[in-house]
């Protein structure tokens, strides 16, 4: 092999590594926004304002702390889209939500400004009932495989680079051949691009993730949709064995549930309709 061929191979390898890194971080990009509103830079600036959150989310838990945020009027919504629409109709002034779920919403069409992204972020993982450690361990083994062979990167690249109404699950005909009692998965009905119900079918990144896990363990899965604030109670009650619901790993949740190793990292955004005065 001559020197030119060696350099060409090195350049191709470098390009492939760069593409893989881009796919892995695709869902960490900022949502579509009208403009950045620099007048508000942190949560303390929201003191005295009406702020919307998704019920049961980490933003809900954080802003419910009246010792730190005594003068914020908190309004809870069932989904990120409902929250954005409420801001567009002036029902609330500001919204706090994870950045990824906003990517599927045309923020510019609603006239929404992203004010700032909160410092840091959260690891996101699948959650399991505390009695299902073996199932959790199998899922962790599954994650190792799809991370190492590039499948997970390809999934993020697919689901996080277009609007959900143009994206579809890959064909997995082998699912129809699986036998046995289905494993119950709790997910969110309106959480594109991760999970949503369309044309009488479940779809989205986390739905695909669970379907691939179903094939990995050779067991059928059954999906049931809930509001975000219903996910953890459903898992604790034993009505579901797995929650694939974009759950942030937090200490309080880890006291109640078993989490898998993370499969992505997510930031949180503050957004509003009108620039601050």
Tell me the domain boundaries of the chain.
27-121+268-272, 123-264
Residues facing residue 123 across a β-bridge: 265
Residue 113, pLDDT score: 87
Alpha carbon distance 92, 74 (integer Å): 9
Percent of the chain past pLDDT 70, that is, above it, reads: 84
189-231 residue pLDDT tens: 888 889 988 888 999 999 999 999 999 999 999 999 999 999 9
Domain 27-121+268-272 has CATH 3.40.190.10: yes
- Selected residue with higher pLDDT from 146 and 107: 146
Residue 162, pLDDT score: 67
| Residue 256: pLDDT over 90 | yes
Provide the whole-model pTM.
0.82
**Average pLDDT, rounded, for the chain:** 86
Q: Which string of DSSP letters, residue by residue, matches 91-154? A: S-SEEEEEHHHHTTS-HHHHTPEEEEEPSS-EEEEEEE-TT-HHHHHHHHHHHHHHHHTSHHHH
Give the long-range contacts of residues 67-71, CB within 8 A, separation 24 or more. Answer: 69/43, 71/47
Q: Evaluate whether 27-121+268-272 and 123-264 have a shared fold.
A: yes
Q: Which CATH superfamily is domain 123-264 in?
A: Periplasmic binding protein-like II (3.40.190.10)
20-76 residue pLDDT tens: 343 444 565 444 444 445 578 889 999 999 999 999 999 999 999 988 899 999 999
87-96, 123-132, 161-170, 255-264 — which is least confidently predicted?
161-170
Residue 9, pLDDT score: 41
């Amino acid at each position: 092999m001559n020197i030119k061929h060696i350099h060409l191979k090195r350049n191709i390898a470098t390009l492939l590594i760069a593409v893989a890194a881009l796919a892995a971080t695709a869902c960490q990009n900022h949502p579509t926004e009208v403009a950045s509103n620099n007048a508000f830079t942190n949560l303390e600036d929201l003191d005295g304002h009406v702020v919307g959150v998704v019920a049961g989310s980490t933003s809900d838990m954080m802003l419910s702390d009246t010792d730190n945020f005594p003068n914020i009027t908190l309004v809870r919504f069932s989904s990120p889209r409902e929250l954005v629409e409420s801001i567009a109709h002036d029902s609330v002034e500001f919204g706090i939500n994870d950045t990824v779920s906003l990517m599927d919403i045309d923020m510019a069409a609603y006239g929404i400004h992203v004010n700032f992204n909160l410092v840091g972020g959260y690891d996101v993982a699948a959650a399991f009932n505390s009695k299902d450690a073996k199932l959790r361990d199998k899922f962790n083994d599954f994650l190792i495989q799809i991370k190492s062979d590039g499948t997970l990167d390809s999934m993020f690249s697919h689901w996080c680079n277009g609007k959900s109404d143009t994206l579809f699950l890959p064909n997995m005909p082998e699912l129809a051949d699986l036998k046995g009692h289905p494993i119950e998965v709790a997910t969110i009905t309106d959480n594109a691009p991760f999970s949503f119900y369309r044309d009488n079918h479940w779809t989205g990144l986390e739905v695909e993730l669970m379907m691939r896990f179903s094939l990995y363990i050779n067991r059928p899965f059954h999906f049931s949709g809930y509001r975000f604030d219903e996910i953890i109670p459903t898992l604790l009650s034993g009505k579901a064995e797995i929650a694939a619901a974009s759950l942030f790993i937090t200490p309080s949740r880890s006291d109640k549930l078993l989490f898998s190793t993370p499969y992505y990292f997510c930031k949180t955004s503050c957004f509003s309709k009108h620039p601050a005065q």
